[in-house]
């Protein structure tokens, strides 16, 4: 039997009897692990912010809105999750998904941010609130007034600084400075309490479970404006129209959401620029120029 993460020994199922590699991951080593009792688990090991991912999955699970894999064990070197065997998508899959995603966004946080920093892909994602420590806020939903500055500083400005460090120059940072006033006005136009966000929802970050129903994976969790989550779903081809119709029926969007959409997509385009290179530069620059004054 090849080497396996020692964390698996804490499950009390004995040594693994099978290890099957899983394709699709671009950071951690992912495998399905079988045991002599017939049970199996999904394990990530190697590179990865495993404790942070586990915290995000557990926060999503607490909302009791959409299924996520149960966290079975975690340490600095590995993350062990419930294995979910996918079935074909159920009838009305995207309607169900849209309705449940709206329910997730009705789970509100004490401020914009999260108790811990985490990652989006391999990129660090700082989540500290701007005003004070996360635990210093009352344990009640915030009003979301901190969202515009949070998104500008913790999301956009962080990414453009990283882009400069990665050799993409300072032009994006200068454009962001020029666009700041317009961006803050747009982001402040639809205030609402911070929603629990998946943070990185595209077609590769959900699966179907054994009933063919939606299950979220690979989150970059924080609390923020729900339009940011929806914007990512539209970036790379989008979901079925029935997803958005069901979402809007369950939790209508504020006027002007289409105007804010490119701002939220900019965060992910900048992240792709930092992860994968210059192919995302022109699109990022074009959005910034649209708002620069």
pLDDT value at residue 2? 66
Residues of the chain with pLDDT below 50 are none
Assigned architecture for domain 93-291: Alpha-Beta Complex (3.90)
Q: List pLDDT tens digits, range 219-244.
A: 999 999 999 999 999 998 899 999 99
Q: Where exactly does CATH 3.30.200.20 map onto the chain?
A: 6-82
Domain 6-82 bears CATH identifier 3.40.50.300: no
Q: Where are the domain boundaries for CATH 3.90.1200.10 in the chain?
A: 93-291
- Give the pLDDT confidence score for residue 242 in this predicted structure: 98
The closest of 51, 65, 84, 100 to 217, measured between CA atoms, is 84
Would you call 16 exposed, middle or buried from its count of C-beta atoms within 10 A (0-12, 13-18, 19+)? buried
The Cα–Cα gap between 50 and 29 comes to: 12
Give the model's pLDDT for residue 26. Answer: 59
- Angle, CA of 232, 265 and 200, to the nearest 5°: 35
By annotation, the residues acting in catalysis are 200
């Amino acid at each position: 039997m090849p080497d396996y993460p020692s964390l698996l020994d804490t499950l009390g199922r004995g040594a693994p009897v099978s290890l099957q590699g899983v394709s699709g991951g671009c950071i951690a080593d992912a495998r399905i692990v079988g045991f002599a009792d017939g049970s199996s688990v999904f394990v990530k090991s190697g590179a990865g912010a495993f404790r942070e991912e586990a915290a995000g999955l557990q926060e999503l699970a607490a909302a009791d809105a959409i299924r996520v894999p149960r966290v079975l064990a975690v340490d600095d070197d590995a993350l062990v999750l419930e294995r979910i065997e996918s079935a074909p998508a159920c009838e009305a899959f995207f309607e169900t998904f849209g309705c449940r995603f709206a329910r997730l966004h009705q789970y509100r946080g004490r401020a914009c941010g999260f108790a811990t920093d985490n990652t989006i892909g391999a990129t660090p994602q700082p989540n500290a609130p701007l005003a004070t420590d996360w635990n210093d806020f009352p344990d009640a939903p915030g009003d979301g007034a901190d969202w515009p500055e949070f998104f500008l500083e913790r999301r956009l400005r962080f990414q453009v600084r990283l882009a400069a460090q990665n050799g993409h120059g300072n032009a994006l940072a200068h454009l962001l400075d020029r666009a700041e006033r317009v961006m803050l006005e747009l982001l402040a136009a639809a205030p609402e309490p911070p929603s629990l966000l998946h943070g990185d929802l595209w077609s590769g970050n959900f699966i179907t479970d054994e009933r063919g129903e939606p299950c979220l994976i690979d989150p970059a969790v924080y609390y923020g404006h729900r339009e940011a989550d929806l914007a990512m779903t539209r970036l790379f081809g989008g979901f079925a129209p029935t997803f958005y119709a069901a979402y809007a029926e369950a939790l209508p969007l504020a006027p002007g959401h289409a105007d804010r959409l490119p701002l939220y997509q900019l965060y992910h385009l900048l992240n792709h620029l930092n992860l994968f290179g210059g192919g995302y530069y022109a699109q990022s620059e074009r959005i910034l120029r649209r708002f620069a004054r």
